[in-house]
A = this chain, B = another copy of it.
Amino acid sequence: MRVYLDNGTTTPVAPEVVEAMLPYFTEKFGHPVFPYSLGQEAADAVERAQEIIARSINARPEEVVFTSGATQANDMAIRGVAYANRNRGRHLITTKVENPSVLRVCERLEKEGFRVDYLPVDAEGFVDTAELEKRLSDETILVSVANVNDEIGTIEPVEEIGEILRERQRKIYFHVNAAAGYGRVEVDVKKIGADLVSLSAHKIHGPKGVGALYVAEGTPIEPVYFGYISLFNLRPGTENIPGIVGFGRAVELMMENFERDVAHMTRLRDRLISGFEEIPHTLINGPRGKKRSPANVSCSFKGLEGESMMLHLDLNGISVATGSACSTTKLEPSHVLTAIGLKAAVAHGTIRFTLSRYNTEEEIDYTLSVVPRVVEQLRRISPVKPEQL
């Protein structure tokens, strides 16, 4: 049996999405910059996708700029707003548990003379909003917080943060990286009070290589990429038209099936959690219930190492992520697991199971039959006793 449980890393493209994209490769292949009919067809397709995505987040179509992914959207948003507001202050606030795509940009800005505070989180991964209030200063220009933590599934209090920022007299821009949250929780830019929101298609059964940045009208933002302008001043280069069309279709499917998918994933998630809790010396990371992404199960199996576990599950047909879900080349344990206070030795034994609408009850049965066996097998060959950790 093949069971894909790494939907937090990337998802299979929905067949409907592939179908929607196909004509844009070979027939409607025009460049959107020209007003001849083939070009208009492409430009219209981009506009339709803007409309769909805008509707899904309660924004206006012109506020949606297409990018090559959430990484690019985050870079554009954070540096773009930081540069455009540098005269108002050079202080940014983010959290210790952001995706590397946000952290690396913040680190870059630190090198360029900006000051960045990284907010701590509690043992379940919730951002400390009291600490946020304390760190806000007359120099603060931007706050960036993901709505859902991609590693441990914590649904962050972004609405509360938006509220805190709105109450300040001085405008502080609010960026929300919703790459992990889109399709798992509601994303309403107005409710959140977000000025910038990053999205990625390949996390919601759209294609890799396309994402979007919501930029609220009037937000001061400088381009950080340069070159040939096709449709978007902020993001030069010929647009990935089939990708954009596929992204739009994926969002349509997401919105149509949202409640059903969330209920389905929640059910599977809770079955996995219950099953894993029966394995001795096992921790579930992140919160339970409504404050947890319906798609995420993060589990630390003490006394074993995640990469071996991941590859053993792969031998059994199950795809999962380990440690830092997004980076396996650094040898440190995941910064998120460290931030919630996990001991490194335990963090190294962490596996992330992430669900999608396509996972089935049978797949969960199978997973629950394989995982305990693999855990036992790996513990048997380990010199580290779980009870010592």
* Chain A positions near chain B (C-beta within 8 angstroms): 4, 6, 9-13, 15, 17-18, 21-22, 25-27, 29-31, 33-39, 68-72, 74-75, 79, 99-102, 104-105, 107-108, 200, 202, 207-210, 225-229, 236-243, 307, 310-311, 313-314, 319-321, 326-328
Contacts of A314 in B (CB 8 A): 36-37
Do A71 and B26 have beta carbons less than 8 Å apart?
no
Residue of B nearest to A33 (CB): B328
Q: How far is the CA of A310 from the CA of B69 in the complex (A)?
A: 34
Q: Are A208 and B108 in contact (CB under 8 A)?
A: no
A36 with B319, Cβ < 8 A, contacts A68-B68, A326-B228, A327-B228 known:
yes
In the assembly, what is the distance between CA of A102 and CA of B11, in Å?
Answer: 35
Given contacts A18-B26, A35-B307, A71-B237, 20 further A-B contacts (CB under 8 A): A9-B34, A12-B26, A12-B29, A13-B25, A13-B26, A18-B22, A21-B25, A30-B319, A34-B321, A36-B320, A68-B72, A69-B238, A71-B238, A99-B228, A100-B227, A101-B227, A207-B240, A208-B238, A209-B238, A243-B243
Q: How far is the CB of A41 from chain B (nearest CB, A)?
A: 11
Contact yes or no, A328 B68, CB < 8 A: no
The residue from B18, B105, B225 contacting A25, defined by CB atoms under 8 A apart:
B18
30 A-B residue pairs with Cβ-Cβ distance under 8 Å, sorted by A, are: A4-B38, A6-B34, A9-B33, A9-B34, A10-B30, A10-B238, A12-B25, A12-B27, A18-B22, A18-B26, A25-B207, A35-B328, A36-B313, A36-B319, A36-B320, A68-B209, A71-B227, A71-B236, A72-B227, A75-B226, A100-B228, A104-B227, A104-B228, A104-B229, A105-B227, A207-B242, A209-B210, A209-B242, A209-B243, A228-B326
- Nearest CB of chain B from residue A132's CB, rounded to whole Å: 23
- Establish whether residues B238 and A202, one from each chain, have CB atoms under 8 Å apart when the complex forms: yes
| A18-B26, A327-B33 given; A108·B238 CB < 8 A | no
A29–B11 CB distance below 8 A: yes
Min CB–CB distance A78 → chain B (angstroms): 9
Please, how many angstroms separate the alpha-carbon atoms of A102 and B21 in the complex? 30
Contacts A104-B227, A237-B68, A240-B207 hold; do A10 and B37 have CB atoms under 8 A apart? no
Contacts of A209 in B (CB 8 A): 68, 209-210, 238-243
Q: Say how far A331's CB is from chain B's closest CB, in angstroms.
A: 14
Whole-angstrom distance between the Cβ of A308 and the nearest chain B Cβ: 11
Q: B10–A15 contact, CB under 8 A?
A: no
**Nearest 5 pairs of A and B residues by beta carbon:** A209-B240, A71-B237, A101-B228, A101-B227, A13-B25
Q: Complex Cα distance A99/B33, Å?
A: 15
Shortest beta-carbon distance from A37 to chain B in Å: 6
Identity of the chain B residue whose Cβ is nearest the Cβ of A37 in the assembled complex: B314
Within the complex, the shortest CB–CB distance from A88 to chain B, in Å, comes to: 21
A295 to B229 CA separation, bound complex (whole angstroms): 24
Alpha-carbon gap, A229 to B328, bound state (A):
10
Determine if A242 and B208 form an interchain contact, defined as CB atoms under 8 angstroms apart.
yes
Partner of A72, one of B13, B105, B225, B327: B225
The CA of A241 and the CA of B209, in the complex, are separated in Å by 8
Docked pose: A69 CA to B235 CA in angstroms = 12
* Chain B residues with CB under 8 A of A313: 36
Is A326's CB under 8 angstroms from B226's CB?
no
B-chain residues with CB within 8 Å of residue A228 when the two chains form the complex: 71, 99-101, 104, 326-327
Minimum C-beta distance from A36 to chain B (A): 4
* Complex CA distance for A210 and B328, rounded to whole angstroms: 25
Q: CA separation between A105 and B236, bound complex, in Å? A: 11
CA distance A68 to B200 in the complex (A): 15
Shortest C-beta distance, A368 to chain B (Å), equals: 19
